[in-house]
Amino acid sequence: MGSSPVRYERSGAAAVLTIDRPERRNAVDAATASALRRALSDFEADDSARVMVLTGKGEAFCAGADLKAMDLDVGNPDGPLGFTRLSPSKPAIAAIDGWCLAGGLELALWCDLRIATPRSVFGCFERRWGVPLVDGGTQRLPRVVGMGRALEMIVTGRAVAAEEAERTGLVNEVVEPGRHLERALELAERIAAFPQETMLSDRRAALEGAALPLDEGLELERRLGQEVLGVAARGAARFAAGEGRGGEGV
């Protein structure tokens, strides 16, 4: 029996998911999609894993669906690439080096944050083959970069270099070559060190409120904030006692 196309490893407070098909530029076939879905389940079930880091082995983050295999289940309610129609309950960071294309871009957009290296390239390359975006790209890309830039990427299928991706907000940070995973793990530890209840509540309010009218979004924020007031009171008491002054710990 061969090894899994997705490695699941723990590193501190993070669960690191590595797509391990470098010979196919980490393109996703049915077996890889199933392995990604299982890995997400493992992450969700592990209370000590507070952040997921998604990355790829070799010269690519992920080149999208494996068009040579053509065995993905497009109608899968969880998403053809494993979990792209699901929402993680905890933060996820994409650590990107090299090609991040088509479905690979959609996997990166599924994450909360994206860290990339200078050689990383992004694009809706499925445009060239007449393949539709069915892993959330049409919905998540406009939410990240705005409708104008998203439509340009979707209808032209052009390549976007890392520098432009950072400038437009597609990528949160471009780091030195080879440091993408290290930086993602640093951010994961920082996120994990915060009181989790309020961080997760605020994250949920932002994500769920994005599609709501402002008044409904504000009501969602109020309701979720009310549920974590006990945590807030304890944090305020620590601040009053002198903890975290001058931005310490941020």
- Show which residues are catalytic: 106, 126
Other Cβ atoms within 10 Å of 181 Cβ, number: 21
71: left (phi over 0), alpha (psi -120 to 50) or beta: alpha
**Dihedral, 214, 93, 163, 105 alpha carbons, nearest 10:** -80
Residue (of 221, 220, 229) closest to 197 by Cα position: 229
Rounded CA separation 229/198 (Å):
9
Rounded CA separation 162/232 (Å):
38
Residue (of 55, 57, 72) closest to 23 by Cα position: 57
Q: Are strands 113-116 and 92-96 parallel, antiparallel or unpaired?
A: parallel
Q: Which two tokens stand for residue 45?
A: 């079930």
